Amino acid sequence: MNSIDVKSIDDKVSKFIEERDWDQFHSIKNLVMALSVEASELVEIFQWSSEEVSNQVNDDEKLKQKVSEEIADIFIYLMRIAKKSGIDIEKSCLDKVEANSQKYPVSKSKGSSKKYTEL
């Protein structure tokens, strides 16, 4: 997975939505709700699992399929929110890693899971 061809996904998703006349429901407010619901469906898969078992997704085809579907739902909503907001996901990520490098200096955060507000 070196890159994601967003255009080809967006073409298919846009056609799907247009055929069903669903854009009328897709305010950004509603799309972020839907994204959070999908994120929770991913959480639900692992809520009673140990951390060890959660790390074995790649060895369990049925589990991997479920995770793959939730990842798709999350990415599709994320892509639509970004598009409607005029946001470039790649640029956002590169900027965020840069910002986090400032918020979490190696000297203070190495080996610690504390939030930057508690460092």
Is residue 111 near its own copies by the rule CB under 8 A?
yes
24 binds its own copies (CB under 8 A): yes
DSSP designation for 104: S
Which residues in the 25-84 window bind its own copies by CB under 8 A? 25, 27-30, 32-37, 39-52, 54-55, 57-58, 64, 67-69, 71-76, 78, 81-84
Write down the least CB distance from residue 100 to its own copies, Å: 7
Write out the H or E segment, with its range, that includes residue 116.
Answer: none
Binding-site size, its own copies (CB under 8 A): 82
Please report whether residue 96 would count as binding its own copies according to CB under 8 A: yes
DSSP 49: S
* Residue 102 touches its own copies, criterion: CB under 8 A: no
Q: Taking CB under 8 A as the rule, does residue 4 contact its own copies?
A: yes
Cα 58 to its chain centre, rounded Å, is: 18
- Exposure string over 96-114, b if 16+ CB within 10 A, otherwise e: eeeeeeeebeeeeeeeeee
- Kindly state the smallest distance separating residue 79's Cβ from its own copies, in Å: 8
- Neighbouring residues of 87: CB distance < 8 A, sequence distance ≥ 6: 81
Does residue number 103 form part of the binding site for its own copies (CB under 8 A)?
no
Binding flag, residue 119, its own copies (CB under 8 A): no
Residue 5: closest CA among 97, 89, 68: 89
